[in-house]
Structure 1
Amino acid sequence: MTLFWVASIILIALSGVLVAWPFIKRKENNDEALRDELNKALYKDRLTELEVEDEEGLMENQQELIADLKQSLLDDIPTENQTAAQSNMNPWLVIVPSMLLTVVLSYGLYYKFGAAEEMMEWQQVNENLPALSKKLMSPEAAALSEDEMQDLSLALRTRLHYQPDDATGWLLLGRIALANRAVDTAIGSMDKAYRLKADDPDIMLGYAQALMLSQDDIDQDKARSLLGKLIQQNYMDVRVFSLLAFDAYERKDFPAAIRYWSIMQQMIGPEDERYEMLGRSIENAKKQLGDSSTVGTSVAVTIDLGQALGQGITAQPGAALIVSVHNADGSPVPVAAARYPLGTFPRTVVLDDSNSMMQGQKMSQLDDFIVRVRIDNDGNVATKQGDWFGESKPAKMGQSVSVIVDGQYQ
């Protein structure tokens, strides 16, 4: 709003200069002097003519004509009162009222026919952009009201007009479009964000969400590819598995849908209100498969570092995270295992029957199990010296477990 006031004051000042300029630069009114000079010139010319006529004998009353000519010259000279009245006129009597009229008309007409209220609202929306953006970025984005969505959309479009390379801005605009079910806008915004910052997990997830709403098979395939990359990067977000489960169910891949919903259950825990809803979805998918079908079970493992590791670990370039599932009796032979990049902690990984290691035995067939985690410092499974490790307490199949890595092989 400051810019508006500055610009309006500058324009009014320029208008005032234009009004006052003729008075500031005006010169003395020389019309009377010029007329007097002209009369004198005409007088002299006429005298010359009279002399010529007198010499030619064409004139009898030369002196009378000369007297009349002088009287005419005197009658045409302006009085001192007229000249003083004109010269004593105060220019500010014109400048001040003109300036006041300009100011009153300018702001009055703008208030009546302009967009003063809309401008103030726009400025207020721009000021609220950080708070609204933070609110939208949270998982509880549904808490935004319809008016807040409109305000945020306006502010984002304004910012993106001046900062088209703002990937976060395009991501937020895409999320607003997703909330409003504006599929084309959502895909377009997310695509721009992805092109600007393709390695951002939040942008990848948002782009996948938008593509999943498309009716184009190519878009949906791209969405599955993005979600697969997120899982490979250990981006354990409930929304990733929710999208995969919904997509699998729509494609009638019920075992995959059940697996993803089961993973979600393990991630959120029974205390979450969504747990029972996921259970109903699983039961519905099982009914679609029939009673004779068997569905694999997954295990979600949350891994964190113990205090002995301080602020972190110093690992060699080939370091890896190895997670294995064993019988509850502590058998050294893993039933299932997976290897991941070291990454950051805390983190959650999920193992299922696809990670089974033993011929003829699936991980889902275990009743009780334990999970062992090892940070392989040199990337060589055969060597253990200097590696860190941790082990979970026994758990029932279907339960999620936590492992603290706080031991070290000597």
Structure 2
Amino acid sequence: MMTNSTGDLRSAGVVQVLDVGCGVASFSAYLLPLDIRTMSFAPKDGHENQIQFALERGIGAMISVLATKQLPYPENSFEMVHCSRCRVDWHENDGILLKEVDRLLRPNGYFVYSAPPAYRKDKDFPVIWEKLVNITTTMCWKLIAKHVQTAIWVKPEDESCRQKNVDMNLLSICESNDNISPSWKIPLMNCVKLNKDKSNIQKLPSRSDRLSFYSKSLEIIGVAPERFEKNNQFWKNQVHKYWSFLHVEKTSIRNVMDMNANYGGFAAALSSDPVWIMNIVPYTMMNTLPVIYDRGLLGSYHDWCEPFSTYPRSYDLLHAFHLFSHYKRRKEDCLLEDIMLEMDRIIRPQGFIIIRDENDTLSRIINLAPKFLWDVTTHMLENEESGTDQVLFCRKKFWAIV
């Protein structure tokens, strides 16, 4: 429908997809052979536990809900947002949830909607469809296809239509021009943002080239090309050494989380391995998540003083690079033990945890690890300043209450 039956989603320029109300993530599984990365999310369902099933399939997913707060992803991050019977009332509250989709979509990005209002003529479905059409028309989305049970809109690149609707008081423009602040616990806004500065909208290459591409988002946060390239090379070397120290087959590790992802160099170095990586950027650190998405990778904002939105025993490998020292000053509500406890919750039995941090922090972790039933070995590895760092390789024991 998007390619006139002449290709697949790759030929439509789709690299990253947000799957809303993803179920067991079958759509994401279908896209994997196409090298299209999907961030799948759904609410916690006490009866079905769909996200847990998706994670057991080795598919990137997290528990989340589209309700009153912005999703923890940066703006202009996805080429497609997908909703297949996702149980979201897009037509309610003046389309505020669709405006959140607009925030997340890149220019020329697609909103794919497959639900009864798109094809059924009974009950109140025609009324809902009319509201959807009115809202999307006001936002200047173009309905490019409506076939069988699916409708597809495209977000415009040219802002002249939106500006006209703003002048006619049909549409509200978001006042904030802040591209730096992370979307963490920010209330939904009933407005859209105009990309008036075309220089900030960069046409990105194919996914394979994005991994090492120096993007506009790196320039915005002041990272020079030389520093970016040095960081990439550093993580390629480190990942090679990590595998040699783990002494496991690469196929035994699938679900990986980088708890402090920085520019996404760790994930990029793993791109040729059979893993997927959840890149986390703590919201109190430099906002590098747009960089990660511009590299064709996926991730989320988070605060490690709180639980992460996933089920227990979800990940095979956790990587914590100078994470604990960042939270030192929040002693009252965020102890080192609290973060370790959350790591223990989300790591699987026999899973690995790699920790790099300040020496006094590592000493405390070594002392606490036996209480969590973690086995710990230490290795010395080169750091980015050509010195050496102590690195902890922890493994959670498999244990049972008998």
TM class by shorter chain equals: under 0.3
Instruction: Tell me the TM-score normalized by structure 1.
Output: 0.23
TM-score, normalising length: structure 2: 0.24
Please state which structure has a larger fraction of its residues in strand. 2
Greater Rg by CA: 1
Q: Which has the higher contact order (CA 8 A, sep 6+)?
A: 2
Larger helix proportion, structure 1 or 2?
1
